[in-house]
Amino acid sequence: MREGYEHLGEIVVSEEDIRKRTAELAAELAADYSERVPLLVGVLKGALIFMGDLIRELDIPLEIDMMAISSYGSATSTSGVVRIIKDLDTDLTDRHVLIVEDIVDSGLTLSYLKRSLLARNPASLEVCALLVKDGVRRADQEVRYAGFHIPPRFVVGYGLDMNERYRNLRDVYIYTGPEAS
Ligand code: 5GP
């Protein structure tokens, strides 16, 4: 195994699973947004790859924007305190906004993000997350469009990192190295 990849455990969600599920989510979204033009808001950097794949499956008029946030805390757990590093370029007033997230763990990041975007008076605000961790004290966040429910382990790949590595992997893996929870 190549050096640097020795901390990859089993594959939790494969490339093929992601491809199929993304197409299903896109079909659901296309039906729900058939009469509205959604603004998809991708959360950098983790949602970058999912966003790219999702919009290519979505055969409806849509717009995208990206924002970057950073959460304080250790490498593998969130404190819930979030800072906007790059804000949106788009005015959200009366827009149908869909947050596109990579993963929801405690839900604290999402909770902050929703509050912050709701304050900008969108016409609607929903969430699409590729991964939702099971069995975690979730800050009661409804994720209307959820790709996969996964065990509460730290995962990497398909946009998700550990210290900025592994984002380029096509599958989602359990991370087994140091600092993993
Ligand atoms: P939450 O606020 O829901 O606890 O955490 C959400 C954020 O923490 C995600 O957007 C992501 O950046 C990071 N995160 C949570 N769980 C994981 C994980 O298993 N792997 C990686 N790479 N990041 C995670």
Is residue 146 situated within a structural domain?
yes
Structural domain that includes position 68: 15-152
How much is the pTM? 0.93
Rounded Cα gap, residues 125 and 93, in angstroms: 11
Tens digits of per-residue pLDDT, 31-59? 999 999 999 999 999 999 999 999 999 99
**Tokens linked to 126:** 């929903």
Is residue 169 situated within a structural domain?
no
CA nearest neighbour of 103 among 175, 54, 46, 169: 46
pLDDT > 80? residue 176? yes
Is residue 7 situated within a structural domain?
no
Q: Provide the CATH number for the domain around residue 106.
A: 3.40.50.2020
- Quick check: 98 and 60 in contact, CB under 8 A? no
Is residue 170 situated within a structural domain?
no
Is residue 1 situated within a structural domain?
no
**What is the pLDDT averaged over residues 80-98?**
93
Percent of the residues in the chain that have a pLDDT greater than 70, as a whole number: 90
Active-site residue numbers?
105
Rounded Cα gap, residues 128 and 14, in angstroms: 19
- Ligand 1 center from residue 82 Cα (angstroms): 12
Is residue 167 situated within a structural domain?
no
User: What total of structural domains would you count in the chain?
Assistant: 1
Mutate which of 43, 51, 109 to test ligand 1's pocket (most atoms within 8 Å of Cβ)? 109
Q: Determine whether 45 is exposed, middle or buried from the number of CB atoms within 10 Å of its CB (0-12, 13-18, 19+).
A: middle
Q: Which amino acid is at 134?
A: D
